[in-house]
């Protein structure tokens, strides 16, 4: 029988006393979408609607990209379906000059902050619409104008990089915050521990965000750690840890905004554990039915973050079926236009194979390019298939 994932813990101890933030579960919305006035962040109605639309967009986009992958039009895709509140709620707290070091499922943070959709889709195709001109695997989005750094395929390597970037900003006197994302599996890597210790000791202006979606590919979180929660690990390093309902957009926003403010004002790092669930496989190449209990998946489907926030907006009189239908139509049109534009873009020029590593291309690389040029000019294609 596949291992079942436990439901989130209640936010109270056995004696009825509230649990510490790193052992409890911060919530603003109940399951019906009603907000607790004591913890509801101060978000304007139009901001709430905009964040809901962004979640709707990510879900529709994920489904469309998975369809393109199945059609062989892109090679690989890693969806954030089920984790939209964690992505949108946290990224919405980043200011224009802040930096984002993502893991696999935070591409939506770049879109929320203004990355052109054509460029985003172009990255999945690896053509001239891609800012990195096909030099990266699909899902490795980078956006220089928005300080969105490409993820690293090796698990966890982005965490010390983010802490280092935060220290550089502190030394330079830049009042920016760095957001370092990771999955639960990354907390088992040495990079995690090095980064946590360095960030706490030197009070780096960084927010460390763990999307605990229950699985590191097929390894359940119960096999990642023996600690009661992931957030509680922050204690050993001397920084605050907060465990948050990652399917509650308002709770995610409240916790992340507080952590960002703390970092921006010199208070140092905060470690957030966003408890959510990966509704699909690890990627388009994974079959989660081989290792997950379908009953647990169904339980988490009832905790859908998009549906929950929709109920919240409906309760405030800010949303209804007509608005939902109109938003869906707009989103479909936006995605369709971006796909057409990206697919129309030509491949990168052959010269880009040897550019962008050196200020001046070395002679040996020019010679190597000349050796393969006839093959490609005659219509040849490189062999190989994406391994994951």
Q: Which two tokens stand for residue 24?
A: 């409890």
Question: Among residues 53, 278, 308, 312, which one is catalytic?
Answer: 278
Q: Is position 291 annotated as part of the catalytic site? A: yes
Which stretches does DSSP call E strand in 86-165?
99-101
Q: 36 near 256, Cβ under 8 Å?
A: no
As a dihedral over the C-alpha atoms of residue 99, residue 229, residue 283, residue 125, rounded to 10 degrees, the angle is: 0
Question: Among residues 5, 113, 282, 312, which one is catalytic?
Answer: 282
The residues near 274 (Cβ < 8 Å, ≥ 6 apart) are 86, 90, 209, 210, 211, 212, 244, 245, 246, 252
DSSP labels, 184-221: GGGGGSHHHHHHHHHHHHTT-SEEEEEEE-SEETTEEG
Query: How far, in Å, CA of 242 to CA of 236, rounded?
Result: 14
Question: Among residues 3, 264, 291, 311, which one is catalytic?
Answer: 291
Q: Is position 243 annotated as part of the catalytic site? A: no
- The CA distances from residue 315 to 39, 40, 49, 153, in Å, are 17, 14, 12, 42
Q: Angle formed by the axes of helices 305-315 and 84-91, to 10°?
A: 60
Enumerate the active-site residues.
Answer: 278, 282, 291
């Amino acid at each position: 029988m596949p291992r079942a994932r436990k439901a989130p813990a209640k936010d109270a101890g056995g004696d009825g006393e509230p649990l510490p933030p790193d052992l409890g579960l911060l919530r603003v919305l109940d399951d019906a979408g009603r907000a607790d006035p004591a913890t509801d962040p101060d978000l304007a109605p139009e901001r709430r609607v905009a964040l809901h639309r962004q979640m709707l967009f990510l879900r529709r986009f994920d489904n469309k990209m998975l369809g393109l992958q199945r059609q062989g039009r892109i090679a690989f895709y890693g969806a954030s379906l089920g984790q939209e509140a964690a992505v949108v709620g946290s990224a919405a707290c980043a200011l224009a000059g802040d930096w984002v070091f993502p893991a696999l499922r935070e591409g939506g943070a770049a879109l929320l902050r203004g990355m052109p959709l054509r460029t985003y889709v172009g990255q999945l195709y690896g053509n001239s619409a891609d800012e990195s001109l096909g030099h990266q695997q699909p899902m490795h989005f980078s956006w220089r104008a928005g300080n969105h750094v490409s993820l690293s395929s090796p698990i966890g390597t982005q965490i010390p990089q983010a802490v280092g970037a935060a220290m550089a900003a502190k030394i330079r006197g830049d009042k920016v915050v760095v957001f370092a994302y990771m999955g639960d599996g990354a907390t088992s890597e040495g990079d995690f521990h090095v980064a946590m210790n360095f960030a706490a000791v030197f009070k780096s202006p960084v927010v460390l965000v763990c999307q605990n979606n229950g699985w590191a590919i097929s390894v359940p979180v119960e096999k990642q750690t023996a600690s009661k929660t992931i957030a509680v690990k922050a204690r050993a390093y001397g920084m605050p840890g907060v465990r948050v309902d990652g399917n509650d957009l308002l709770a995610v926003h409240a916790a992340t905004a507080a952590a960002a403010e703390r970092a921006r004002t010199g208070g140092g790092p905060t470690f957030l554990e966003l408890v959510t669930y990966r509704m699909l496989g690890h990627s388009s190449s994974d079959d989660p039915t081989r290792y997950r209990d379908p009953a647990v998946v169904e339980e988490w489907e009832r905790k859908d973050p998009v549906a929950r926030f929709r109920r919240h907006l409906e309760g405030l009189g800010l949303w209804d079926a007509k608005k939902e239908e109109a938003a869906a139509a707009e989103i479909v049109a936006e995605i369709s236009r971006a796909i057409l534009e990206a697919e129309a873009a030509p491949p990168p020029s052959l010269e880009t194979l040897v550019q962008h590593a050196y200020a001046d291309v070395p002679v040996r690389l020019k010679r190597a390019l000349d050796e393969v040029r006839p093959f490609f000019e005659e219509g040849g294609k490189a062999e190989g298939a994406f391994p994951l």
